[in-house]
Chains A and B, each alone.
Chain A
Amino acid sequence: MRNTYIPYPVRIKETQVETEDKMLKSFWLEFLNADDAKAFDYTPGQFAELSVSGYGEIPIGIASSPTEGEDLLFTVNKVGHVTNRLHNMRAGDVMGVRGPLGNSYPLEEMKGKNIVIVAGGFAVTTLRSTMNWLLHPDHRGDYGDIDFVYGARTPGMLLYTDEWSQWQKRDDVKVHITVDQEFPGWDGLVGFGVDIVKQIKPQPDNAVALICGPPIMIRFTWPVFEELGWTTEQVILSLENRMKCGIGICGRCNVGGEYVCKDGPVFTKAELDKLPAEY
């Protein structure tokens, strides 16, 4: 049997500081062993434990999409012991990846439906993965209209600029990028993500919404959807909690009886409404 605690060894291929505050850094990782790359079979919405020997592991959503090839992309917020160390690592360094872990966005069930994606701050990571999946020529035809709403505090805090700029040029997706206030040189939308949702008034018929962002954003965004007639079953959220094992044993990510690491991180709002808000 395979020991699912042992990370796959990977090498950092490329890194990039993503934001003006330098707190978010992206890492492209390549597997050292070809078999491991095959075994790491993932779907957008899943996460992995990034392993830095001597420092520990940290659960991070997978920002790449399997449609992009075997290399993995992670964007990491510098907030603790492991992530501080990670930010100091460079291309060529060896680390580990354990996963893929958790459930994913319900891409199968979403087929044939209109999709509204609302991302706030750096929670956009697994939604980048999702967008790449949805927009891939093999998949785009499976889904209806796509609205992508992405907001950050400032233009310099927006991730993946190169990519959403490309998406903006397509006519099969509506991309709404917004920042909190006016900034010199910014000619895009201004306002919170929730304000944009109010403007575009997504319709609930045959639709699903993926919302990822800080708890406060979710708190303000849901009522807008509710007003438009959406049900809690149609709204899909992704949780973060402290994790260690990542496979539903060690107990710290529990929200009620659910393990965020195994039963989640993706839940519908309807599911979460039945659970204690311990996240």
Chain B
Amino acid sequence: MAEKILAKDQLDQFLGKLAEGREVFAPQDVEGKVAWAPLEAAADLLWDFSNSDMSPKDYFFPQTECMMRFVNKADDEMGMIMQAEPELNTPRALINMRPCDAKAFQVLDLIFMQDEMTDDFYWRDKREKSLLVGLACNDPCPTCFCTSVGCGPHHETGLDVLLVDLGDKLLVKAVSDKAAELLAELPEAEQADLDQAAELKKAAEDMVEANVGVATDQLEGREVMELYEAALWPRVAESCLNCGTCTYCCPTCHCFDIQDEVQGDEGRRVRNWDNCMSWLFTVHGTGHNPRGSKTHRVRQRFMHKFKYIPDKRGGEIGCVGCGRCVQLCPVNIDVRSVVNDMNA
């Protein structure tokens, strides 16, 4: 489908259509933070923002998610038998998602939906019922390094629609056919619009290229144990607090814990985000811990993203270069320096 044009003053109508049968969410200014929230009106959409402080992954993989419930009564006919939670009722649209975050979902699809057995019901349910409308980055941050990890400020992977902000209007590009009906009535873009978008894309890419990036070209050829035993890890781990900030703000980190909870006659099985920084994550019932030191744990996160995932998932890197961890790490462990050291 050819690119379309959506005037910003027509957005309310467009959003009206988008909201038919869907809940719509977007990054908004929530008490000074850029946070994803239900969208009430087009006026609440942000156009000049870098990205949401936290990744939107919890729309597909909530930090706490009830997986199943049971009646906590042994003498009840259905007692103690786990029953699945209902599926997502109302489909969703996520609008103004940055391309890096959308790319992250495509990476996570490779992990959550591998084959018949490894097919995460909860992830798939929400993924299939969500429409992702992206907003290209025209003004990337100094901490962005998407172009060095196979993504980019105008990248389309994982999105259904990509919007490019052209000032008072948006260039609308259908990436999948999921939104065809929504876009059908929009006017087609003129050549000048396409040219402007191409220029913006080039400028944004140049901006990211000028930032510190990561080099990963040597990693594929290196043995796991060579990287694992590299001298850099104790120094990287030294200042690490082993908190969960980097993993929880990360759009591709996806480790979780499963726990049962009981209150009276009601019980549920819940999954919660968990992270490889925690010593508790791997400790055996016997007390033995395969990743017993801070160095083990810090190394795991970088190895997982930049060696294990690429080796296992056809070269796909487990990082999209959003830069959130760079901005939020309380001790400024900068993924870019770490990976460049791994690659050196």
Interface assignment of B225: CB less than 8 Å from any CB of chain A: yes
Contact in complex: B281, A252 (CB < 8 Å): yes
Contact in complex: A254, B267 (CB < 8 Å): no
Known: A244-B258, A249-B112. A5 touches B290 (CB 8 A): no
Shortest C-beta distance, A7 to chain B (Å), equals: 6
Stretch among B21-29, B150-158, B302-310 lining the A interface: B302-310
Stretch among A52-60, A181-189, A229-237 lining the B interface: A52-60
Bound Cα distance from A250 to B120, whole angstroms: 11
- Given the complex, which residues of A lie within 8 Å of B262, measured CB to CB? 54
Q: Per-residue 0/1 for A238-279: is the Cβ within 8 Å of any B Cβ (1 yes, 0 no)?
A: 001110110111111011110000100000000000111111
Interface assignment of B72: CB less than 8 Å from any CB of chain A: yes
Contact in complex: B256, A94 (CB < 8 Å): no
- Given the complex, which residues of B lie within 8 Å of A249, measured CB to CB? 111-112, 118, 120, 254, 256
Contact in complex: B121, A3 (CB < 8 Å): yes
Segment 74-130 of A: residues with Cβ below 8 Å from B: 79-80, 83, 93-96, 101
Q: Which residue of B lies closest to A253 (CB)?
A: B282
19 sample A-B contacts, Cβ–Cβ < 8 Å, listed by A number: A4-B121, A5-B269, A6-B83, A54-B80, A56-B259, A79-B286, A83-B285, A93-B80, A94-B80, A244-B258, A250-B257, A251-B256, A252-B255, A254-B300, A256-B224, A257-B304, A257-B309, A262-B117, A278-B291
Contact in complex: B274, A274 (CB < 8 Å): no
User: Nearest 6 pairs between A and B by C-beta?
Assistant: A257-B308, A251-B255, A80-B285, A3-B121, A79-B285, A278-B290
Contact in complex: B121, A5 (CB < 8 Å): yes
B contact patch SS:
mixed
Q: Per-residue 0/1 for B244-265: is the Cβ within 8 Å of any A Cβ (1 yes, 0 no)?
A: 0000000000111111101000
Contact in complex: A241, B282 (CB < 8 Å): yes
Interface assignment of B184: CB less than 8 Å from any CB of chain A: no
17 more A-B contacts (CB under 8 A) besides A94-B81, A244-B257?
A1-B119, A3-B84, A4-B121, A5-B269, A6-B84, A54-B260, A94-B79, A242-B281, A242-B282, A242-B290, A247-B117, A248-B111, A252-B274, A256-B228, A256-B303, A256-B308, A279-B290
Contact in complex: B255, A250 (CB < 8 Å): yes
Shortest C-beta distance, A125 to chain B (Å), equals: 16
Shortest C-beta distance, B60 to chain A (Å), equals: 13
Shortest C-beta distance, B91 to chain A (Å), equals: 17
Bound Cα distance from A207 to B92, whole angstroms: 57
Q: Which residue of B lies closest to A250 (CB)?
A: B256
Shortest C-beta distance, B284 to chain A (Å), equals: 6
- Given the complex, which residues of A lie within 8 Å of B14, measured CB to CB? none
Residue numbers of B with Cβ under 8 A of A are 67-68, 70, 72, 74, 79-84, 111-112, 114, 117-122, 124, 223-225, 228, 254-260, 262, 267, 269, 274, 276, 281-286, 290-291, 296, 300, 303-304, 307-309, 311-312
Contact in complex: A274, B225 (CB < 8 Å): yes
Bound Cα distance from A279 to B286, whole angstroms: 12
- Given the complex, which residues of A lie within 8 Å of B291, measured CB to CB? 278
Interface assignment of A9: CB less than 8 Å from any CB of chain B: yes
A contact patch SS:
loop
Interface assignment of A65: CB less than 8 Å from any CB of chain B: no
Interface assignment of A221: CB less than 8 Å from any CB of chain B: no
Interface centre among A5, A96, A274 (most CB of B within 10 A): A5
Shortest C-beta distance, B259 to chain A (Å), equals: 6
- Given the complex, which residues of A lie within 8 Å of B269, measured CB to CB? 5, 53, 56
Bound Cα distance from A80 to B285, whole angstroms: 6
- Given the complex, which residues of B lie within 8 Å of A52, measured CB to CB? 260
Bound Cα distance from A32 to B74, whole angstroms: 15
Contact in complex: B284, A242 (CB < 8 Å): yes
Which residue of B118, B121, B223, B254 is within 8 Å of A251 (Cβ)? B254
Q: Which residue of B lies closest to A94 (CB)?
A: B80
Shortest C-beta distance, B87 to chain A (Å), equals: 10
Contact in complex: B118, A247 (CB < 8 Å): yes
Known: A94-B74, A256-B224. A250 touches B258 (CB 8 A): yes
- Given the complex, which residues of A lie within 8 Å of B124, measured CB to CB? 1
Q: Per-residue 0/1 for A1-32: is the Cβ within 8 Å of any B Cβ (1 yes, 0 no)?
A: 11111110100000000000000000000001
Contact in complex: A95, B117 (CB < 8 Å): no
Bound Cα distance from A250 to B276, whole angstroms: 10
Bound Cα distance from A47 to B225, whole angstroms: 28
- Given the complex, which residues of A lie within 8 Å of B258, measured CB to CB? 56-57, 244-245, 250
Q: Which residue of B lies closest to A263 (CB)?
A: B312
Shortest C-beta distance, B119 to chain A (Å), equals: 6
Known: A4-B119, A79-B285, A249-B254. A56 touches B260 (CB 8 A): yes
Interface assignment of A51: CB less than 8 Å from any CB of chain B: yes
Contact in complex: A93, B290 (CB < 8 Å): no
Shortest C-beta distance, A101 to chain B (Å), equals: 8
- Given the complex, which residues of B lie within 8 Å of A252, measured CB to CB? 255, 274, 276, 281-282
Q: Which residue of A lies closest to B121 (CB)?
A: A3
Shortest C-beta distance, B147 to chain A (Å), equals: 25
Bound Cα distance from A275 to B303, whole angstroms: 12
Contact in complex: B68, A6 (CB < 8 Å): yes
Which residue of B70, B223, B256, B281 is within 8 Å of A245 (Cβ)? B256
Bound Cα distance from A249 to B274, whole angstroms: 12
Q: Which residue of B lies closest to A78 (CB)?
A: B285
Contact in complex: A53, B307 (CB < 8 Å): no
